[in-house]
Amino acid sequence: THFVPMRNYLDLAYVGIISIGTPPQEFKVIFDTGSSDLWVPSIYCSSPACATHNVFNPVRSSTCRISDRSIHLQYGSGMMSGFLAYDTVRFGGLVDVAQAFGLSLQEPGRFMEYAVFDGILGLAYPSLSLRGTIPVFDNLWKQGLISQEVFAFYLNKKEEEGSVVMFGGVDHSYYNGDLNWAPVSKQLYWQLSMDSISMNGEVIACNGGCQAIIDTGTSLLIGPPDVVLDIQKIIGANQSHSGEYLIDCDASNTLSDIVFTINGIDYPVPASAYIQEGPDSTCFSSFDSLRGSLLTADSWILGDVFLRLYFTVFDRANNRIGMAPA
């Protein structure tokens, strides 16, 4: 039995289509740089959450091999139980043979019913994956399906237009200027050392340096609770009954950029990005707290709010991350 706790999936918002099996069965998945495993629901799953998602039927796939290895993926107060299987995974013209992936049998907890995606395709380092399995990206490289050991994300604010993940090369038309590279500080997540977080030239967080994880599977800018609370006060955000931080929508025209400095390069995030417009003309802070995590107290997660501004290249060959204005 293999236990692999997972994050909550509250903010995952960019999905792509993959297929598994022969003939192919389609799934909407999150391409997630914050985890390393691939999993989708199975036809054997009896939970209500599985009834609202596409499910994989191994019997209908002539190339599927099922293992007797059970896996348990924990998320928040719920758990996904299932088993490991191997099959052909296809996306974007790539054909990844004998890819290990998880199939869920149970997805207790009603909250997964609200997820728009079927499963997750993890793109973090193999050290984060189920023991003995090779993550999708490593298999693409091992099987000679891509010519460069890189992948890159361009995330567009608009719903249907233009967002893309590219494997094996970088399309330079998606960014301005040169890519600024920063070394990966720990090969588990896509993690690097951040110098500081500042506003109006004054350091407001990460004083003396901290760690930042670049995570396509997170929507917001996540940091330590006490530090995030200070930032909420600085930008004038107040906690609502739901626990979110509300902010005057007009503040997006008046508040200054918050600058994330990484490897000596400034990456400004304007108020229009760190303030998100919700329904009924309410606006929310894009900062949230890291609670109950194994991460150290001085760690940040830079999610889609950051990635929509900066085209990002994940370079496994050189263990570095390249960023440039999208």
Structure tokens at 287: 């900062």
In the complex, the smallest distance separating the C-beta of residue 320 from another protein, rounded to whole angstroms, is 19
- Residue ranges in 201-240 that form contacts with another protein under rule CB under 8 A: 213, 215, 217, 219, 222
Query: 264 in the Ramachandran plot: left (φ > 0), alpha (ψ -120 to 50) or beta?
Result: left
105 binds another protein (CB under 8 A): no
111 binds another protein (CB under 8 A): yes
Specify the residue, 19 or 193, whose C-beta has the smaller distance to another protein: 19
| From 99, 129, 211, 312, residue interacting with another protein (rule: CB under 8 A) | 129
Phi–psi pair at 322, nearest 5 degrees: -110, 135
Contact assessment for residue 223 and residue 205, using Cβ atoms and an 8 Å cutoff: yes
Rounded to whole angstroms, the Cα distance separating 117 from 66 reads 23
- Residue ranges in 33-72 that form contacts with another protein under rule CB under 8 A: 34-36, 65, 67-69
325-137-215 Cα angle (round to 5): 40
Structure tokens at 190: 């896509």
Q: For another protein, which stretch binds (CB under 8 A), given 40-48, 56-64, 158-166, 258-266?
A: 158-166
155 binds another protein (CB under 8 A): yes
Contact assessment for residue 129 and residue 36, using Cβ atoms and an 8 Å cutoff: yes
In one-letter notation, the amino acid at residue 67 is S
Structure tokens at 73: 């993926």
Structure tokens at 150: 């890189």
Alpha-carbon Rg of the chain, whole angstroms? 20
- Encoded one letter per residue, x for contact with another protein by CB under 8 A and - for no contact, window 246-275 reads ------------------------------
Q: For another protein, which stretch binds (CB under 8 A), given 54-62, 251-259, 288-296, 313-321?
A: 288-296
- Residue ranges in 4-33 that form contacts with another protein under rule CB under 8 A: 4-17, 28, 31-32
317 binds another protein (CB under 8 A): no
Most distant CA pair in the chain, distance: 61
| From 48, 209, 270, 278, residue interacting with another protein (rule: CB under 8 A) | 278
Helix (H, G, I), strand (E, B) or coil at 222: strand
Q: Strands 2-6, 65-75: parallel, antiparallel or unpaired by DSSP?
A: parallel
281 binds another protein (CB under 8 A): no
The residue count for binding another protein (CB under 8 A) is: 90
Is 298 among the residues known to form the active site? no
Specify the residue, 170 or 198, whose C-beta has the smaller distance to another protein: 170
Cα 205 to chain centroid, rounded: 23
163 binds another protein (CB under 8 A): yes
Q: Which of 37, 87, 118, 215 is catalytic?
A: 215
Specify the residue, 34 or 82, whose C-beta has the smaller distance to another protein: 34
Place of tokens 């110098």: 195
| From 43, 79, 94, 203, residue interacting with another protein (rule: CB under 8 A) | 94
Specify the residue, 189 or 314, whose C-beta has the smaller distance to another protein: 189
Specify the residue, 125 or 198, whose C-beta has the smaller distance to another protein: 125
Q: Strands 150-154, 65-75: parallel, antiparallel or unpaired by DSSP?
A: unpaired
Is 178 among the residues known to form the active site? no
Specify the residue, 191 or 252, whose C-beta has the smaller distance to another protein: 191
Specify the residue, 106 or 198, whose C-beta has the smaller distance to another protein: 106
Contact assessment for residue 120 and residue 29, using Cβ atoms and an 8 Å cutoff: yes
DSSP string across 221-243: EEE-HHHHHHHHHHHT-EE-TTS
- Residue ranges in 166-195 that form contacts with another protein under rule CB under 8 A: 166-169, 171, 189
148 binds another protein (CB under 8 A): yes
Rounded to whole angstroms, the Cα distance separating 14 from 41 reads 18
Catalytic positions, written as ranges: 32, 215
